[in-house]
Structure 1
Amino acid sequence: MNRNIIAISIAALGFIIGVALLGSAIKNRNQSQNTISVTGLGTKKFTSDLITWSGNFSRTSFELKSAYDELSNDKRVIENYLTSKGIPKDQIVFSAVDTQKQFNYGSDANGRSIQTFAGYQLSQTVSIDSKDVAKIENLSRNITEIINLGIEFTSSPPNYFYSKLADVKHQMIADATKDAKQRAEKIAENAGSKLGKLKKATMGITQITAPNSTEEYSYGGTFNTSSKDKEASITIKLEYGVD
């Protein structure tokens, strides 16, 4: 008799605990569902205020000293040309001389591979970093003037940067956050609810592309340097509770 009473009491207690746990689970589940997740976008168009440009020149000779003397003369000619175009000397940077042995490859009368020494090739790079974007752009477009001076010169396309990118990012974050909050408020209003406290905020990766381009965004962020005019964007994901 006593055993039956004890068994019934234990079963009743277990039922009560089970109901309580189920109610708690349902409550927590509903609480987790009472949230709104939205993504806001911040964009900014701007024009680069920094430009970098570089070019390469080289000389080849069977005599190492002759090649070096010719390259040194080319360096002086290039430096004089650049300063004549208004480029300050402290903005002109020449790399160390790179020396490579050149060979011609062929076959002898028996079909065996042979190589013959073709001389020493010495090369050097000149680069410029400047805030005078228009001047360096014009310089890069008229680089044939250096070639006409008798120098084997290869010019690289300029790269464009922006010195106040941190300010652009801060403004985009603010705009993206404002956009996301407005979206959340609108959703809550349309649902007849009231927006609660912010629970979570996640910032996306900054993407910088040329305006109206077909460049694809990348997981690690895109950073266009080939276009003077740029467009940056960033996303902010916000999660709010709903009252």
Structure 2
Amino acid sequence: MNGHSLILAAAAAAIACGVSIITSVAVASNAYVRRGEVAPAPTRDLAVTGSAKLRIRSDVATWSIVAKSSGRTQEEAWASLEAAAAGIRGFLRDRGFPDEVCLPGPVSTSIDYVRDANGRDTQVIFAHRMTRHFDITTPDCDRVHAAAGAVTDLLRTGLQVESRPPSFLYTRLAELKVRMIGEATANARERGETIARGSGCRIGPVLDARAGVLQITAPWSTEVTSSGIHDTGTIEKDVTSVVHLRFEIVPQ
């Protein structure tokens, strides 16, 4: 092959390569165009939080008073315990509690021994001790609250008694929770609609929804925990429910 032929062959190869490159670029460009045509538009969303609060009143109260005694002998301790128990029963009757709501528990006993110079127990009995719980359960929360505040009258008699703090409970929390979540959800939707309308849009379907735990607190309390609060120390309580919603935002 002479020099002229070599030049022509090289030129033909260059032209073929150029056509191939142009064709590849065109195919790739068309692919990107087609890909752009079918790619979904990014979703615009709006996250809002709704809440609902309700004041409720406890519908059952539980309370425990403990009779205590001690004595050198079992008989002496038992007599002292019986006196304390009789004082508790009389105290409760005077404040309108029928016997059927005041359930006496079993008697618990223990023995204290004299200790030696090294602080170890000996076999010599120092005292016998006895305790008995009287548990009250009643829907009359106000009566329990008043009696618990007047237990000092019982202490002034010299009897060995101990009053535990009463607990005030609401027994219909399951159905209340459903209602509160519904109200908090409606509040979240209303907030979302207001924000979207002010931005010239409207809310679409819900993309995500999460309900927080109920916060049951003393009235006017602002305390909140991630695991929820369940106040038992007050008759009236505030119940707060929170719902988090995420909406798709669409044009008007």
Shorter-chain TM-score tier? 0.7 to 0.9
Instruction: Tell me if 1:196 matches 2:197.
Output: no
1:51 aligns with 2:61: yes
- 1:232 equivalent in alignment to 2:242: no
The amino acid that maps onto 2:207 is K
Q: What SS is found at the alignment partner of 2:106?
A: coil
Residue number in structure 2 paired with 1:136: 144
- 8 A contact 1:62–1:118 mirrored in 2: yes
Give 1:176's aligned residue. 184
Q: Counterpart amino acid of 1:192? A: G
Percent identity of equivalent pairs: 24
User: Deviations along 1:107-153, whole A, 9 cap, x unmatched?
Assistant: 3xxxx445454212111111111111222222112223333444201
For residues 7-156 of structure 1, the aligned pairs below 5 Å read: 13=27, 16-17=30-31, 27=40, 30-31=42-43, 34-103=44-113, 105=115, 107=117, 112-115=118-121, 117-156=125-164
Q: Size of the alignment, in residue pairs? A: 234
Residues 18-41 of structure 1: CA deviation (Å, up to 9, x unaligned) = 56556666x35x12xx11110001
RMSD of aligned residue pairs (Cα, Å): 2.8
Structure 2 residue aligned with 1:160, among 164, 168, 191?
Answer: 168
The answer to whether the 8 A contact 1:39-1:237 is kept is yes
Please report how far the alpha carbon of residue 73 of structure 1 lies from its aligned counterpart in structure 2 after TM superposition: 4.3
AA aligned to 1:178 is A
CA distance in 1, matches of 2:135, 2:214: 28
Q: Note the residue ranges of structure 1 that are not aligned, 5 or more in a row.
A: none
* 5+ long unaligned stretches in structure 2: 1-12
Larger radius of gyration between Structure 1 and Structure 2: 2
Deviates more, 1:159-168 or 1:232-241: 159-168
**1:201 deviation in Å?**
1.3
Contact kept in structure 2, 1:44 and 1:168, CA below 8 Å: no
Once residues 232 and 35 of structure 2 are traced to their aligned partners in structure 1, the CA distance between those partners, rounded to angstroms, is 59
Task: Look up the match of 2:7.
Answer: none
TM-score after normalising by structure 2: 0.79
- 1:163 is displaced (CA, Å) by 3.0
Verify the 8 A CA contact 1:203 1:235 in the aligned structure 2: yes
